[in-house]
Amino acid sequence: MPLPMSSSLPPELDPDAIANLRALGDDGDDTFLKEIIGIYLEDTPLRLADIRAAAAAGDRALYTRAVHTIKGSSSNVGAHLVRGLAERLEQRSRSEPHADLEPLRLELEEAFERAAAALRALRG
C-alpha cells in the first residue's frame, strides 16, 4: 500500500525530501522509502548514544562525527528540524565544551523523537 502523499505530511518532515525518496523507488512501490526510513530509525539512536558517550569521554572527534552523520541522514529522510539542530551542534562541537552543548543536544534528541514518530506513522 502506498504511503500518504507528501502534501499530507506532518510539519516534522520535508515533503520534497520524501517525494525525492519516493521517486527513487519503483512506480507505486514505497519499498525503497520504507527501507530508508527503517535504516534512519535504527541508526540515529545509535548515533545519539555515540554523542552522549563522546560527551562523557571528552571525545570531540566522535561527537562531531556522530552529529555530522545525523545531519546527513536527517536531510535524506526529510527530518529538517533534526537536520538543522544537528548542523548547529556540529558547528559548535568543534570549539565549545560539551557541557555547554547539553541543552542543544537534548533539543536534538527531542526533535528526533518527534521526527521518528512522524516517520513511523508514514512508514506504517
Q: Which domains does the chain have, with CATH numbers?
A: 9-123 (1.20.120.160)
Spatial separation of the C-alpha atoms in residues 87 and 48, rounded to whole Å? 14
Q: Alpha-carbon distance 93 to 33, whole Å?
A: 31
pLDDT of residue 6: 46
Cα angle: 76, vertex 77, 82; to 5 degrees: 95
**Single pTM value for the model:** 0.90
The band of 10, judged by pLDDT with boundaries at 50, 70 and 90, is: confident
- Please report the pLDDT score of residue 3 as a whole number: 47
Three cell numbers written together for 19? 517525494
CA-based end-to-end distance of the chain: 9
2 neighbors 28 (Cβ within 8 angstroms): yes
pLDDT over 80 at 57, yes or no: yes
pLDDT of 45 > 70? The answer is yes
pLDDT of 110 > 90? The answer is yes
